[in-house]
Chain A
Amino acid sequence: MTTKSPGKIHVTTTINGQEHELLVPPYMSLLDTLRELIGLTGTKEGCLDGNCGACTVSVDGRIVDSCLVLGAEVNGKNVDTVEGMATAEGLHPLQQAFLEEAALQCGICTPGFLVAAKGLLDNEPSPTEGRIRHWLAGNLCRCTGYDKIVRAVQKASS
Chain B
Amino acid sequence: MVATFEPKTDYKVVGTRPIRHDGYDKVTGRAIYGGDMKLPGLIWGVCVRSPHAHANIKSIDTSAAAAMDGVFAVLTGADMPKAESKLVDLGEGNINFKWASNKLMADNKVLYKGHPVAAIAAVDRYTAEEAARLVKVEYEVLKSITNVVDALKPDAPILLPDLVGDDLGEDVTNTNMAAHVRHEFGDVEGAFAAAAHTIEREYNMQMVHQGYIEPHNATATWDEEDRIKIWTSTQGAFPARTQIAGILQVNVSQVKVTPLEIGGGFGGKIPVYFEPLAALLSKKSGRPVKMVMERTAVFETTGPTPGARMIIKLGADVDGKLTAATADIWFEAGANPGAFIGPAAMCVYAPYEIANTRIDGWDILVNKPKVAPYRAPGSPQVAFAMESAVDELCEEAGWDSLKFRIDNASKAGTRRGDGVLFSKIGMEEVLEATKESAHWNAPLGDAPAGKKRGRGIANGYWFNIGLKSSANLALNSDGTVQLTEGSTDIGGSRTSMAMHVAEVLGIGAHDVRPTVGDTESVGYTDVTGGSRTTYATGYACWIAANNLVEVLKDRVAVLWDINKDDVDFKDGVFSSKAEAQKTIGFKELAGKLGDLGGPANSTGSVDLESAGDGFGLHIADVEIDVETGKTDIIRYTAIQDVGTAIHPSYVEGQLQGGAVQGIGWALNEEYFMTDDGTMANSSFLDYRMPTSLDLPLIETVLVEVPNPLHPYGVRGVGETPICPPIPAIANAIKDAIGTRLYNTPMNAGSILEALK
Chain B residues, CB < 8 A from A137: 691-693
Residue-wise interface mask of A (111-147) relative to B, using a CB-CB cutoff of 8 A (1 in contact, 0 not): 1001000000000000001001110111111111111
The residue that B653 contacts in the complex, of A39, A105, A114, A150, with Cβ under 8 A, is A105
Q: Which residues of A contact B30 (CB under 8 A)?
A: 42, 83
Interface flag for A11 (CB, 8 Å): no
CB-CB contacts below 8 Å: B238-288 with A:
261-266
- Which residues from B are CB-within-8-Å of A82? 27-29
A133/B215 contact (C-beta < 8 A), A2-B123, A102-B17, A148-B649 known:
no
Is A98 touching B263 in the complex (CB atoms < 8 A)? no
Q: How far is the CB of B459 from chain A (nearest CB, A)?
A: 20
Interface residue from B68, B123, B214, B657 paired with A44 (Cβ < 8 Å): B214
Are the C-beta atoms of A45 and B23 separated by less than 8 Å?
no
Within 8 A of A (CB), among B107-148: 122-127, 130
Interface size on A, residues (CB 8 A): 66
B486 near A: Cβ within 8 Å?
A: no
Number of interface residues of B (CB under 8 A): 66
B421 within 8 A of partner (CB): no
Contact partner, A145, options B122, B125, B656, Cβ 8 Å: B656
Within 8 A of B (CB), among A72-126: 81-83, 85-86, 91, 95, 98-102, 104-111, 114
A49 touches B213 (CB 8 A): no
Give chain A residues whose Cβ lies under 8 Å from the Cβ of B125.
32
Interface residues of B in 44-92 (CB under 8 A from A): 68-70
* Contact (Cβ within 8 A) B35 A44: yes
A2–B491 contact, CB under 8 A?
no
The listed residue (B262, B295, B695) touching A106 by CB distance below 8 A is: B262
Q: Is B574 an interface residue (CB 8 A)?
A: no
Asked whether B26 is an interface residue with its Cβ less than 8 Å from the other chain, the reply is yes
Asked whether A41 lies within 8 Å of B32 as measured between CB atoms, the reply is yes
Q: Please tell me if A9 contacts chain B, counting CB pairs below 8 Å.
A: no
Give the CA-CA distance A45 to B292 in the complex, in Å: 9
Known contacts: A41-B36, A52-B684, A106-B264. The answer to whether A146 contacts B295 by CB under 8 A is: no
Report yes or no: B126 in contact with A25, Cβ–Cβ below 8 A: yes
Q: Is the CB of B491 within 8 A of A4?
A: no
A47 and B683 contacting across the interface, CB-CB below 8 Å: yes
Residues of B within 8 A of A3 (CB): 69-70, 123, 127
Q: Which of B29, B32, B126 contacts A2 (CB 8 A)?
A: B126
CB distance from B174 to the nearest CB of A (A): 40
Q: Are A52 and B649 in contact (CB under 8 A)?
A: no
Residues of A within 8 A of B23 (CB): 98-99, 104
**B212–A142 touching, CB < 8 Å:** yes
When distances are taken between beta carbons in the complex, the residues of chain B under 8 Å from A69 are: none
- Residue contact B29 to A143, C-beta cutoff 8 Å: no
Query: B215 is contacted by which of A1, A45, A83, A95 (Cβ under 8 Å)?
Result: A45
- Cα separation A140 to B264 with both chains bound (whole Å): 12
Residue interface bits B281-316, CB-to-A below 8 A is 1, else 0: 000000000001011000000000000000000000
B3 on the interface (CB 8 Å rule)? no
Q: Is the CB of B28 within 8 A of A102?
A: no
Among B17, B122, B125, B213, chain A packs the most CB atoms within 10 A around the CB of B213
Kindly list chain B residues whose C-beta atoms are within 8 Å of the C-beta of A59.
none
Asked if B685 lies at the interface with its beta carbon under 8 angstroms from chain A, I say: yes
Chain B residue contacts of A47, Cβ below 8 A? 215, 295, 683-684
A22 to chain B minimum Cβ distance, whole angstroms, is 16
> Which of A48, A141, A146, A147 neighbours the largest number of chain B CB atoms within 10 Å of its CB?
A147
Residue B106 lies at the interface, judged by CB distance under 8 Å to chain A? no
Q: Given A40-B29, A99-B19, A146-B692, are A108 and B684 also a contact pair (CB < 8 Å)?
A: no
Cβ of A63 to closest chain B Cβ, rounded Å: 14
Q: For B294, what are the chain A residues with a Cβ–Cβ distance below 8 Å?
A: 48
Contacts of B19 in A (CB 8 A): 99-100
Interface of A (DSSP majority class): loop
- Cβ of A43 within 8 Å of any chain B Cβ, yes or no, is yes
With A2-B126, A143-B264 as given contacts, are A85 and B650 in contact (CB-CB < 8 Å)?
no
Q: Decide if A147 touches B20 in the complex (CB within 8 Å).
A: no
Contact with B28, one of A49, A86, A141 (Cβ below 8 angstroms): A86
Instruction: Tell whether B697 is near chain A: CB-to-CB under 8 Å.
Output: yes
Residue on B nearest A102 in the bound complex, by CB? B649
Q: Assuming A49-B684, A140-B689, is B263 touching A106 (CB within 8 A)?
A: yes
Would you call A54 and B697 a contact (CB within 8 A)? Answer: no
Q: What is the CA–CA distance of A25 and B33 in the complex, to the nearest angstrom? A: 25
CB neighbors of B among A48-74 (8 A): 48-49, 51-52, 54
Bound state CA distance, A46 and B292, in angstroms?
10
Given contacts A48-B295, A145-B698, A147-B698, contact A107 B263 (CB under 8 A): yes
Q: Which residue of A lies closest to B36 (CB)?
A: A41
Q: Which residues of A contact B31 (CB under 8 A)?
A: 107
Chain B 1-46 residues near chain A, CB threshold 8 A: 17, 19-20, 22-24, 26-33, 35-36, 38
Distance in Å: Cβ of B304 to nearest Cβ of chain A: 14
Residues of A within 8 A of B122 (CB): 2
State which of B70, B130, B214, B661 has its C-beta within 8 Å of the C-beta of A108. Answer: B214
Q: B197-224: which residues lie under 8 A (CB-CB) from chain A?
A: 210-215
Q: Is A15 an interface residue (CB 8 A)?
A: no
Question: Which residues of chain A are within 8 angstroms of B653 by Cβ–Cβ distance?
Answer: 102, 105, 143-145, 148
CB neighbours (8 Å) of A138 from chain B are 691
Q: Chain B's nearest CB lies how many Å from the CB of A8?
A: 12
**Contact, CB under 8 Å: B17 / A136:** no
Interface status of B179 (Cβ within 8 A of chain A): no
CB closest residue in chain B, given A51: B684
Q: Are A2 and B213 in contact (CB under 8 A)?
A: no
Of residues A25, A27, A144, which shows the largest number of chain B Cβ atoms within 10 Å of its Cβ? A144
State in angstroms the CA–CA spacing of A87 and B534 once bound together: 34
A30 at the interface (CB under 8 A from B): no
A141 to B213 Cα, complex, angstroms: 7
User: Which of these, A2, A108, A111, A147, contacts B264 with CB under 8 Å?
Assistant: A108
C-alpha spacing A134/B656, complex, angstroms:
19
For A148, what are the chain B residues with a Cβ–Cβ distance below 8 Å?
Answer: 649, 652-653, 656
- On whether the beta carbons of A104 and B649 are closer than 8 Å, the reply is no
Q: How far is the CA of A100 from the CA of B20 in the complex (A)?
A: 9
Asked if A24 is at the interface (CB within 8 A of a chain B CB), the reply is no
Query: How far is A28 from B657 in the complex, measured between Cα atoms in Å?
Result: 35
A46/B214 in contact, CB under 8 A: yes
Closest B residue by C-beta to A54: B213
Inter-chain CA distance A102–B491, complex, in Å, is: 10
Q: Nearest residue in A to B22 (C-beta to C-beta)? A: A107
Expressed in whole angstroms, the Cα–Cα distance for A152 and B35 within the complex equals 27
Contact partner of B657 (CB less than 8 A), chosen from A32, A86, A144, is A144
Extra contacts, 5 of them, besides A1-B124, A140-B689, A143-B264 (Cβ < 8 A), are: A4-B69, A41-B35, A45-B215, A105-B492, A145-B656
Selected A-B contacts with CB under 8 Å, 20 pairs: A1-B126, A2-B70, A2-B127, A5-B126, A28-B126, A36-B124, A41-B33, A41-B35, A44-B213, A46-B214, A46-B295, A49-B295, A81-B29, A83-B28, A104-B23, A142-B657, A144-B657, A145-B661, A146-B692, A147-B698
Query: Which A residues contact B (CB, under 8 angstroms)?
Result: 1-5, 25, 27-28, 32, 35-36, 39-49, 51-52, 54, 81-83, 85-86, 91, 95, 98-102, 104-111, 114, 129, 132-134, 136-151
